[in-house]
Structure 1
Amino acid sequence: MTAIGWRLAMQAALYGSGGFFVRPRSGPADHFRTSVHASPLFAGALLKVIEQLDAALGHPKTFDLVDVGAGRGELLTALRRQLPDRVRLTAVEVVPRPDGLHPEIHWRRDIPQSIVGLLIATEWLDNVPLDVVDIDEGGVLRKVLVDRVTGAETFGAPADAADLFWLSRWWPGPGRIEIGWPRDSAWADAVASVRRGAALCVDYGHRRDDRPAFGTLTGYRDGRQVTPVPDGSCDVTAHVAMDAVAMAAGTPYRMIRQRAALKALGVDGARPPLDLARTDPAAYLRALAAAGSAAELIDPAGLGDHWWLWHTVGVEIPFV
């Protein structure tokens, strides 16, 4: 068995040659369901956020909307027709530009600098590769190594200084620990690209007081949770240490659950009144369908449990 650390294994499995996210004919939506894919109500809620931020910025000549980890451009496609022409749409993704994507949507591999507007990352940080450490039989905290073909794990070298420094502050254990400093660095760099405006991270995660004792590393394929074998055949993901990520950015922030954020933005999942079924059956059915998709977005046992992490840069704007 040739085993490597989880961070290198995830990098190769997700973004290497033939990796899960770089396959030309298969996108993330084919394997798992995010808020973007669940309902257009999610894009509608973000539209309200964009409008509020645009006003707070004084309606700049060019308002940047940057989607990091854009998949196949679904979110920007949903928003494009509802935004004024001065909004510059940029998708950041590792795959080549999808066929048929509207030409107004710019496509690039790296985050642009000097953003004036909104940077959003929906379920991006959970796919930033990280290492895993655990305590061996002798009580030594060691890197967990994984075979890229079988997924079998073994112990490697002792945890290094950077890992120990991070976990001493953010995940003191005991148990299996997912070292989150690569996510901290990735998010800090993303927020630093915003000159004026805001950055919004939407992801599933945990805080210091509720770290999972056995970690969260897992895989997804064809809509089902599977063993996280890092061979490129499945998504390999782990929940985000949201409080560590928030502090790393070094700017004012607020963090709330998605269910609370969306309800504040008018997505409540309430069923339409039965009287509407009698007076306007077609409207009732439309409202009932909207309530169903809203309920999925705010479900506390599902997408509603995601965190919204909101940073402001050079502007004061109340967040939902």
Structure 2
Amino acid sequence: MDGSPPPRGGAVDSIGRWARVQGGALPWERYMEIALYDPEGGRYQQRDSPFGRSGDFYTAAHLGPAFGRTIARWVLSIDAQLGHPDPFRLVELGPGDGSLARDLADEIARRSDAPERFEYVFIERSETLRRRALEGAWAGPASRLRRSVQGGIGDRGVFVGAVVANELWDALPARSLIRTGGVWRERTVVWNGERGAWGLGEVVSAIGYAPLPDDEEGTVREVSLVGESLIRAVADHLGAGALLILDYGGTTEELGVRHPTGSISTLRRHRAGGDPLDAPGTSDLSVDVDFGRLRAAARAAGLVEMAYRSQTEALAAWGLGEVAEELRRAAPNDAERVRTHLAVKSLGFGFERFRALELAAPGRPLRARPTPT
């Protein structure tokens, strides 16, 4: 952090109220929920955006249109395999500031014979981000797509289409567990009125859809039951189509090696490493996605795995090279061509920790595009 005192009000007061109700400590999962989403001061509820140059972090969608246009080709391949249904509902979970939506919808409008079939649906719990996404996404060809906002995946019943989530799962509240005395125990945040300290909660013997590993003493792991519940909700309401999850993380085994003391991280104005228990509501908080547990939850929910691979491999399979060449040819000058080249290069080499998980609704087999050799 920058050394300034923690802000009063907002998330700090909300955490204090929760801590008092729970005897002075609250689970990390609840702390993370308040710090990010509290209506009185969570980071994603604030007027200043957490995205882009003036915010806390960039996503791949902020590097230029190549990322969104490539994902649009994945969406169109799902549309083709489903026989071009009308309507085709394209749901984005956690659209942020609308950067991905703008490029994705623009490419669909350019490449589809009937873009009016598509309805782009935002699902965003933060009213501030929902408003920002709607304001930023719809100009030019993208305006030919219908658009709407939902509070949850099941608000309008079962649908046919595709669901896309880019860097959402890492921001879903997760429980933090520590291996101590040969058992797993919940980590809590002991709140003193201004900041927190780590504490120990109850023993956890089983959680979610996958067993807890028999790790060494002192190992810390994060488990997002919120993320597993969201997988179940998508499975319950996606009648035909596919779900695409793009995020940083790895298998359960990989995360145990990479993050033996846990993967909780902070970002504030693009600087990492601040204490997550200091000044809640002023920094972005995230955890690496345990794709091993996520895939187990998907299987339990009846979803069919189409592919699990690195994001770099997935983008190549969906046509990033072709998209990049189109953008270079359309660039008005050499400077723009250089910017396009650097952005595409960053997508290939700046996101090594990112994975792509493609899941199909049960009952209608869909094919993933093979990774180029």
What is the TM-score when the length of structure 1 is the normalising length?
0.86
| Other-structure match for 1:218 | 265
Letter in 1 for 2:125: V
Aligned residues: 307
Letter in 2 for 1:291: H
Greater helix share, structure number:
2
| Other-structure match for 1:309 | 357
| Other-structure match for 2:25 | 3
Could you tell me how far 1:124 is from its partner in structure 2?
A: 0.9
| Other-structure match for 1:266 | 319
Could you tell me how far 1:292 is from its partner in structure 2?
A: 0.5
The 1:281–1:134 alpha-carbon spacing in structure 2 relative to 1, beyond 3 Å, is closer
Work out whether residues 92 and 121 of structure 2, in 8 Å CA contact, stay in contact via their aligned partners in 1: yes
What is the rounded CA distance, in whole Å, between the counterparts of 2:104 and 2:197 in structure 1?
Answer: 43
Letter in 2 for 1:98: R
Letter in 1 for 2:188: L
Could you tell me how far 1:62 is from its partner in structure 2?
A: 0.8
What is the rounded CA distance, in whole Å, between the counterparts of 1:171 and 1:36 in structure 2?
Answer: 35
| Other-structure match for 1:62 | 87
Within-5 A mapping of 1:151-230: 151-159=196-204, 161-163=205-207, 169-174=211-216, 175-211=219-255, 212-225=259-272, 226-229=274-277
What is the rounded CA distance, in whole Å, between the counterparts of 2:355 and 2:346 in structure 1?
Answer: 15
Between 1:88-97 and 1:224-233, the stretch displaced more is 224-233
Say which SS state the counterpart of residue 85 (structure 1) adopts.
helix
Could you tell me how far 1:64 is from its partner in structure 2?
A: 0.8
1:47 equivalent to 2:99? Answer no
Say which SS state the counterpart of residue 266 (structure 2) adopts.
strand
Could you tell me how far 1:249 is from its partner in structure 2?
A: 1.5
| Other-structure match for 1:122 | 166
Could you tell me how far 1:193 is from its partner in structure 2?
A: 2.1
Q: Provide, for residues 1-42 of structure 1, a one-character-per-residue CA deviation record: whole Å limited to 9, x for no partner.
A: 933110111111111121111223424442111112222111
| Other-structure match for 1:298 | 348
Work out whether residues 221 and 263 of structure 2, in 8 Å CA contact, stay in contact via their aligned partners in 1: no
Work out whether residues 38 and 293 of structure 1, in 8 Å CA contact, stay in contact via their aligned partners in 2: yes
What is the rounded CA distance, in whole Å, between the counterparts of 2:246 and 2:179 in structure 1?
Answer: 31
Between 1:4-13 and 1:284-293, the stretch displaced more is 284-293
The 1:56–1:126 alpha-carbon spacing in structure 2 relative to 1, beyond 3 Å, is same
What is the rounded CA distance, in whole Å, between the counterparts of 2:124 and 2:231 in structure 1?
Answer: 15
Could you tell me how far 1:268 is from its partner in structure 2?
A: 5.0
The 1:89–1:213 alpha-carbon spacing in structure 2 relative to 1, beyond 3 Å, is same
Q: Provide, for residues 158-209 of structure 1, a one-character-per-residue CA deviation record: whole Å limited to 9, x for no partner.
A: 22x433x767x25332211212443222223223321111000001112122
Could you tell me how far 1:309 is from its partner in structure 2?
A: 0.3
Work out whether residues 176 and 223 of structure 2, in 8 Å CA contact, stay in contact via their aligned partners in 1: yes
Work out whether residues 206 and 212 of structure 2, in 8 Å CA contact, stay in contact via their aligned partners in 1: no
Work out whether residues 192 and 249 of structure 1, in 8 Å CA contact, stay in contact via their aligned partners in 2: no
Within-5 A mapping of 1:86-165: 86-96=117-127, 97-98=130-131, 100-101=135-136, 102=138, 104-112=146-154, 113-136=157-180, 138-147=181-190, 149-159=194-204, 161-163=205-207
Work out whether residues 308 and 356 of structure 2, in 8 Å CA contact, stay in contact via their aligned partners in 1: yes
1:21 equivalent to 2:70? Answer no
Could you tell me how far 1:151 is from its partner in structure 2?
A: 3.6
What is the TM-score when the length of structure 2 is the normalising length?
0.75
The 1:204–1:50 alpha-carbon spacing in structure 2 relative to 1, beyond 3 Å, is same
RMSD (Å) for aligned C-alpha atoms? 2.7
Say which SS state the counterpart of residue 195 (structure 1) adopts.
strand
Q: Provide, for residues 46-97 of structure 1, a one-character-per-residue CA deviation record: whole Å limited to 9, x for no partner.
A: 1111111111111111111100011122222223333211100001101224
Between 1:138-147 and 1:43-52, the stretch displaced more is 138-147
Could you tell me how far 1:285 is from its partner in structure 2?
A: 4.1
What is the rounded CA distance, in whole Å, between the counterparts of 1:41 and 1:286 in structure 2?
Answer: 13
Between 1:176-185 and 1:231-240, the stretch displaced more is 176-185
Work out whether residues 196 and 315 of structure 1, in 8 Å CA contact, stay in contact via their aligned partners in 2: no
Between 1:260-269 and 1:2-11, the stretch displaced more is 260-269
What is the rounded CA distance, in whole Å, between the counterparts of 1:59 and 1:268 in structure 2?
Answer: 25
Could you tell me how far 1:239 is from its partner in structure 2?
A: 0.5
Work out whether residues 69 and 121 of structure 1, in 8 Å CA contact, stay in contact via their aligned partners in 2: yes
The 1:284–1:264 alpha-carbon spacing in structure 2 relative to 1, beyond 3 Å, is farther
Say which SS state the counterpart of residue 116 (structure 2) adopts.
coil
Within-5 A mapping of 1:274-285: 284-285=334-335
The one of 279, 283, 296 equivalent to 1:247 is 296
Could you tell me how far 1:281 is from its partner in structure 2?
A: 10
Q: Which runs of 5+ in 2 are unaligned?
A: 1-18, 110-114
